[in-house]
Structure 1
Amino acid sequence: MGRHWDRLDESLRPQVQASTEEFARVRPELEKVTREMQSTIREVFRDAEPAPLFVAARTKSLESFRDKAARTMPAQEPGHPPVLEFPDPLRQLNDLVGVRVIVSLPHEIREAAHLLKRQRREFDCRSDREKDIGYIESGTYGYSSRHLIMRTIQNDVVKEYQRVLGEPAKPNGSYIFEVQIRTILAHAWSEIEHGIRFKAADPRAWSPYFDRQFIATAAMLESVETVFSELHERYEAVTGYWDEDGEGDAPLTPNRIREVWQTLLPHVDRKADDDWGWAAELLAAHGLRRTIELAGLLEADAITKVRRALEHRYSPGPDRLLDDVLLWRFGKRHIELTAGDDNHRRESLLRRHRQMEAYRQAHEDDA
C-alpha cells in the first residue's frame, strides 16, 4: 500500500493504474538501463583515488512507482478536484533509475561528484543539489547526500528501452536518471530511517518519539563524521611529515615545530605561552632542522619509555618532554650541547640521565 495511492481521488485512479501497468510492461528493459548505468559509473571510479566503497543501483519498484504517480496538487481553479503532479510519470520522473555511490568520508562526496560531472562523453549533469545544505540553513538535522540528475548521451541500451517504450519517446539514447552520493554512515542511517518512516505498514502506528530519535541520531551521525574527517586530515598531515621531498623537508621554524607537535601530540600541549623558540634551539643544537627529523624524534614508543623511566610527578609540557626525549636519544651529548654554564640545568640533566640508564638496564629485554 502507498500513502498517496490510498488517498487518491477515485476519478484519478484509472489514469495512475494505466501508467503503472505500462511501467510494469517496460520495467524489464529499464532494469537493463539500470545495470548499464551502474556498470558505467563503476568504470568511472575504477582508477579513482580514493575509490568509493561500492556503487549500488536500483530500478523503482511497481508499488513505489504507483505511489509516486499518485501524487496530486491542488487544481488551479477553486472547487475543482486535485490534479496529478506527474500526469505522464514514465517520462516525467527522474528517479525510475537510481544509482548510489557510497564513500567513506564527507570530503569524498565532493570529489566523487566532480569526477562524475567531468564524464561529458557519457553524461550531461542537469542538476546538482546538496541535501545537507538545506538542513544546515534551517537549523535541522538529516543525512548528508549529493543528488545529481544525469542525462545519458547516445547510449545504446537506453535506445533499446526507448524502442520498447514506444511513442512519443524517440530512441535517441538520452535518458535522465538520479545519482546519490553519500557516506557509508549516512547511507546506513537513511536506509533504516526509510524502512521505518516511509515503509511503515500502518501510519497510525507512528509516534512523535520516532521523529525525535531520528533527529537525535542524525545529530550524532554528523558529530561522528566530523571526528572521522578530523582523523583523516591529521593522518594526511602526519603522512606528509615523512615525505622527504615534500612536507618532510620543511624547515623547523618555531611555528613549524608547534604545528608538528600539536598534530602528533595534541594531548601533550601544556605550554603556558606561544613561544617555541627554545624548542627550536634544542633541536638545532643536534642539527635537527627538518620536519622529518622531528617526526622521527617524537616516536610514540620512545616517549612512552621516557615517561616510565622518569616517572614524572606532573605531566610535562612540550618543552620539558622534548628536552627529555632528546636526552633519551643523545644521552650525555645532549647535556654537553645544551647545558653550557648553567650548573642547575646540568645537574638536572645528569640526574634524569641516570634514571634513564637505570631504566634501560632494568628493561634490556624490552629493547
Structure 2
Amino acid sequence: MGESAATVDVTIWDWLPQAAQEVEHYLERLLAEAAISAHAVDARAKKIESFQEKCRRKQYTDPLQDVTDTVAVRIITYSLTDRDRAERLLVDRFQIAENHNPGAAKPQSRRGYDCSHLVVTGERAGVEPGWLIAGGRLAQYFDTFGGLEIQLRTVAAHSWAEFEHARRYKGQPYQAISDHDRATVDQLFGAASDARRALDELFVAIDRVLANPTAPSSPPAALEEAAPPSGDPAGPPTGRQTPVQPAPLRTYLAERFPDDGEASAKGMQFACELIDACGLSSIEALARALEGVDSDQVRRLMDTATAVTRVRRLDDTLLARFGEEYIAATGALGNVPRRSQQLEWRYDRLRGKLPVSNAGRKR
C-alpha cells in the first residue's frame, strides 16, 4: 500500500525545483537539436500545498505514483507543424505513459481547447547517453514519481486557453450570470476557437512558403563562381593533405567556430563520419568545400537560442553546403532517432536563403 499525502516526505520539495530546471534545459536542447524554435519552454514544480490538496480531492492512495504533474512542462510553439514535430521528438526520446488531447473529448458547444498532454516516465532504452544528468535531480524524479507531464500547444491555442481559463473555467462572473448569458459566452468562445484554428492553419501556410520559396530563374553569379567542378565537392587536391581524424579536426573546428562549445570524443568521431560521408578525404578538402558558406548566417537562420557544440555547427554548415544530398548521405548516421527527418526540418530553415554571396570568405 502506498503512502498517503500526509505521510509523503516533505523534504522532496527541497530538490523538485532543480528537477524542473533540468527538464527545462533538457527539452530546450532537444528542440534546438531539431531546429525547432519554441516560443516558450517553461517547467514548474507543484507546490506542496497544491500537491496535498489534489491528493485529498482525488483520494489518491499512492500519491507519488498517482500525481503525474508534480513537475510539469509547457512547450509553446509558433505553428502546428512545430508542435507536431516536437511531439514526435518526445515520443522518440521518452517512455510515454499517456498521450492525449483533453479538448478532443469536449462537446462541440465547449470546443476550443487544443493541447497535447504527455506523461513521461523516463528516457527510452537506447537513446543517446549523456542527456540525463547522472545522479541529477531529474533522474531522481523519474525514480521517485510516477510521471512528469509535458503539455504542447501553439501560441494561438495558448492564448485561447489562458483567456478561457480566466474568464470561463475559473471566472466568478461566468458562474454568476444567467443561463442565457452563459450560452452566449459559450458561443463566443466557440467562435474564438474557430478563428484560432484558422490562425493556426494560416501560420502553417506561411511556414510552407518560407520553407519552399520560388526558385530564382538563374543561380546567383557568386554561387556559380563558388561551385566546384561536378562530382568533386572539394575541388582538386592541392598541397598538404591532413587526414580527417579527431585531433586535427578539433583544431579546425576551434578556428572556424571559436565561440561554440567543445564536443565530446564521441561527438568528434561522429563529425569524422559526417565528413567521410560527404566524400571529403582531408581537412583541407573540407575547408575548401566550406569556403563559400557563411556559417554565421547559417547559425542565424537556425535561430536556436541554446548553446550548441562545434560539431553541431559543422553539421549545419555541411547541410547548408550540400543540401538534400547531405541528408541522403548522413541521415542514417549516429544513434539519433529520425535524424533524416530532423535534417529535413533544419534544412527547411536554410532552403532558398543561402546563395553563396561571399564565396571564398572563411568563417
With normalisation by structure 2, the TM-score equals 0.48
The structure with the largest alpha-carbon Rg is 1
With normalisation by structure 1, the TM-score equals 0.47
